[in-house]
């Protein structure tokens, strides 16, 4: 399936791009994250498990168990605080 991945804030800076289109066989967000962790050292460092990373599928905050569908949009971003 084909997905669009968007990276925000410090994750975008670390990876060096704001978005990418990726063909994947991942069924869940966890599977996709595993693929990305293996994609490059920058992906591995910024998306590492245990680090503070928020995720969304089709603009809905979700966890790693979320199912992916062809054409979906995935976003990775650090936690945001406001004041």
CATH number for the domain spanning 66: value is: 3.10.20.30
Q: Is residue 83 part of a domain?
A: no
Pairing relationship of beta strands 2-7 and 73-77 according to DSSP bridges: parallel
Evaluate whether residue 18 is within a structural domain. yes
Distant-in-sequence, close-in-space partners of 12: CB < 8 Å, separation ≥ 6: 18
Report the pLDDT value the prediction gives residue 82, as an integer from 0 to 100. Answer: 57
pLDDT tens track, the chain, 83 positions: 999 999 999 999 999 999 999 999 999 999 999 999 999 999 999 999 888 899 999 999 999 999 999 999 999 998 875 55
- Write down the pLDDT at residue 83: 55
How many domains would you assign to the chain?
Answer: 1
The pairing of strands 54-57 and 73-77 is antiparallel
Does residue 13 fall inside a structural domain?
Answer: yes
For 59, the domain range is 2-77
């Amino acid at each position: 399936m084909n997905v669009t991945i968007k990276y925000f804030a410090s994750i975008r800076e670390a990876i060096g791009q704001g978005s990418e289109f990726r063909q994947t066989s991942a069924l869940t967000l966890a599977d996709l994250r595993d693929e990305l962790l293996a994609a490059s050292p920058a992906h591995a460092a910024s998306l590492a498990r245990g680090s503070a990373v928020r995720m969304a599928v089709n603009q809905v905050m979700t966890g790693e168990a979320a199912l992916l569908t062809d054409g979906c949009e995935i976003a990775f971003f650090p936690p945001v605080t406001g004041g």
